[in-house]
Chains A and B, each alone.
Chain A
Amino acid sequence: MGGQRAQVIDDREDRHPPGGVAIPDGPPPELVFKRRLRPVQVAHELWAARELVRALAERDLRARYKQAVLGFAWAVLTPLALCAIFTLVFHRAVKIETGAVPYTLFAYVGLIVWQFFSNTMNQGALSLANNLSLLNKVYCPREVFPLATMLVATVDMAIGVGVLGLMFLVFWTAPAATFLWALPLLLIQFAFTYGIALILSVAVVYLRDVRHLLPIITQMGVFATPVAYPLAKIPHRLQEIYVGVNPLGAVIEGYRKALLYGEAPDGRMTLIAAASSVVFLVGGYLFFKKLETGIADVA
């Protein structure tokens, strides 16, 4: 003890300490951090975080259904209520032509998809902002947060599909034999929805007022998407562009054809929707990963 002096590496007076290295004014440009994404590593990390996704989704579900007296009924009541309104307004007043299929079934198929999308979008957009404190403490791939909200919406959708089964009983029809077409459409639906949730979730972290836009998007979206009416209502020459921007249009139309009308979905529209949803997913993912690096700085 006593007397020992530490060796000084950086003498800030003249920045040229004896035996030390001067600190430059800035980092060498070639060392500036750039986000590099290796698909294998990204996939591996996401897989390693599956437990977290499950826990986050479980927590959301449990919290929601603990509070609401009606429990899981909520997942059913919202689309059913909308469905009733749509039936009254669009079927009775506007007279939407749905052929041999009951309008209520027709609208309900669209509402299940729309509900899934709007749930994921609204919850997913806030999923990072609501978990900022956690983001600052543990490392995990950040895309698990919007993913968990999509998982929750998927559970709700599964309940909605159960109700659809009941409706088939009520209307005394059976799902068409072409129903297996629903599987590729489901993939398109997931890809597009997740892409949007990724973009919005990171946007809300940096631009907190974006969250006020969400209700507006939701309100307009339900009418701008062929939920209450068939895709054919959109002028024919605009349909391809429309589906490119909003693949949900082709997805809903495809489900109806496959489940209710017994036809294969329109190949061209489905391909456009698939391509578009891949662009949304990949683009959204890259956007997310690029902005992800700064989240802890602004948290």
Chain B
Amino acid sequence: MSRDYPPGTIRTQQVWKRFRADQQRMLLRDRVEQAARRLRGDRGEDWRWALRDINLHIEPGESVGLIGSNGSGKSTLLKMLTRVMYPYAGIIDVRGRIGALIEIRAGIHPDLTGRENIYLFGALLGLKRREVAGRFDDIVEFARLGGAIDRQVKFYSSGMQMRLGFAVAAYLEPHVLLVDEVLAVGDAVFQQRCLDRMREVAEQGTTIVFVSHDLPAVQSICRRGVWLEQGTVRVDAGIKDALAGYRDSIEAQSEASARVGEPLALLKYEVRAGSGEETLHTDEPVTVELTLAGDYRGDATLHLGVSEGTSSPIFQISHEIRLTGGDHRVACVIPRLPLPRGRYTLWTGVYSIGKTDGGTLMSWHSAGQFDVFGPMLDTPPRAVVLAAPVFVPHQWEE
């Protein structure tokens, strides 16, 4: 019937999943009521699609970043890949052992000790006790659990649980490793080690599906990106293309989120090179000029920010202004632009000072994009993620 795919292959064909949209209390008496309604011809069921027509073919050893806004169906898809959840329709075929970290406590039974959990999880993966024992020390060492390994897991902190969950999933040599957005629970150092480990198992040929809102981290791990939007695959492409599309859509959304009825509006903005050149260049002067319009009179704080796509700015600067009603022009000169080559988004917002301190005059929103020409950033070592691109003027000596 189906071809024999090697371990590590993930295939989904026309997968659909729906959930009840109405509140369900799961009680017998509600069901009796429902049955009565159904007899009167009113089905009274309200379903909503969580995933529609998902077709994916992932080869062994591929690393795929699954991105999309909250509620787009990423966790649901991962749960169906681990077979915890069943599709409404379609074919799901995941070959080989699956290691998954879907929730913080993935695969971890709270009443058992860390040690028991490791063996239990190995058994569920189909490993022999001896095989688990061979990896046991690696797991404990990676998770930095030390003596806590013989304590019940319910007494672990959430960070410890996550570390154990990840270590177990990543060290029991699954053919497929599924990681949902849970790494954020760990501290920065541990996150870095997780990413390192994921890269390592990817190089050993493990198929990886990685969900995270930390887009640079996704980019550092994954070659391929699948962007889910409202339960459908919007883009399935190289990771850079998928991320670019996703970032653009986030910007478009925040631009579109209406700011009607606010006291101030951004009439126009300009980002121009201080040198008078056509294009902006790294480490050279730049002027940002804004014109605000509105009747508001009084003191206010103007904020300016620059981001690379996502909504967290790389830097933010602010300035007090006095508005007198009518148009107000303000310019900011940055003598040396600290941004490497790339496309950036300019953000701005204005908030009042004084009686109605902090009142929103113009909410924080992206005004538009600009391109910077100049050197690319140097490539960081394997699995090291840059929080934000910053150009630092420097000189090497030897």
Q: Interface majority SS on B: helix, strand, loop or mixed?
A: mixed
* A65 vs chain B, min Cβ distance (A): 14
Q: Please tell me which one of the listed residues A27, A205, A209 contacts residue B53 in the complex, with CB atoms under 8 A apart.
A: A27
Residue A4 interfacial (CB < 8 Å): yes
Contact indicator per residue, chain B 75-112, by CB within 8 Å of chain A (1) or not (0): 00001001111111111000000101011011111111
Contact A136–B87 (Cβ < 8 Å) = no
Residue A85 interfacial (CB < 8 Å): no
Q: Please tell me which one of the listed residues A7, A63, A297 contacts residue B237 in the complex, with CB atoms under 8 A apart.
A: A7
Residue B36 interfacial (CB < 8 Å): no
Complex contacts, B91 vs chain A, CB 8 Å: 31
Question: Chain B: which residue is nearest A27 at the CB level?
Answer: B89
Residue A267 interfacial (CB < 8 Å): no
Contact B105–A133 (Cβ < 8 Å) = yes
Contact A137–B106 (Cβ < 8 Å) = yes
Q: Please tell me which one of the listed residues A3, A5, A136 contacts residue B371 in the complex, with CB atoms under 8 A apart.
A: A3
* A57 vs chain B, min Cβ distance (A): 12
Residue B248 interfacial (CB < 8 Å): yes
Complex CA gap A287/B306 in Å reads 58
Q: Tally chain B residues at the interface, Cβ within 8 Å.
A: 65
Contact B119–A4 (Cβ < 8 Å) = no
* B16 vs chain A, min Cβ distance (A): 4
Complex contacts, A3 vs chain B, CB 8 Å: 343, 371
Residue B120 interfacial (CB < 8 Å): yes
Contact B235–A7 (Cβ < 8 Å) = yes
Q: Which of B106, B107, B120 has the most CB of A within 10 A?
A: B120
Contact B234–A1 (Cβ < 8 Å) = no
Residue B26 interfacial (CB < 8 Å): yes
Residue A135 interfacial (CB < 8 Å): yes
Contact indicator per residue, chain A 176-209, by CB within 8 Å of chain B (1) or not (0): 0000000000000000000000000000011111
* A212 vs chain B, min Cβ distance (A): 9
Q: Please tell me which one of the listed residues A1, A26, A205, A298 contacts residue B341 in the complex, with CB atoms under 8 A apart.
A: A1
Contact B237–A6 (Cβ < 8 Å) = yes
Which segment of B205-213, B238-246, B256-264 sits at the interface? B238-246
Complex contacts, A27 vs chain B, CB 8 Å: 14, 16, 53, 88-90
With A4-B244, A52-B123 known to touch, is A138 a contact of B107 (CB < 8 Å)? yes
Residue B126 interfacial (CB < 8 Å): yes
Complex contacts, B24 vs chain A, CB 8 Å: 298
Contact indicator per residue, chain A 283-299, by CB within 8 Å of chain B (1) or not (0): 00000000001101110
Complex CA gap A24/B19 in Å reads 18
Contacting A at CB under 8 A, from B220-247, are: 227, 229-230, 232-237, 240-242, 244-246
Complex contacts, B234 vs chain A, CB 8 Å: 8-10
With A10-B233, A135-B84, A138-B107 known to touch, is A55 a contact of B89 (CB < 8 Å)? no
Question: Chain A: which residue is nearest B80 at the CB level?
Answer: A296
6 A-B pairs whose Cβ atoms sit less than 8 Å apart in the complex = A33-B90, A51-B120, A138-B82, A206-B26, A208-B26, A293-B86
Given A33-B88, A138-B100, 7 other A-B contacts at CB below 8 A? A1-B376, A6-B241, A9-B236, A51-B119, A136-B102, A139-B82, A207-B31
Q: Across chains A and B, which 6 residue pairs bring their CB atoms closest together, nearest first?
A: A6-B245, A27-B89, A51-B123, A2-B343, A293-B86, A27-B16
Interface positions of A (Cβ within 8 A of B):
1-10, 12, 23-24, 26-28, 31-33, 48-49, 51-52, 55, 59, 63, 133-140, 205-210, 293-294, 296-298
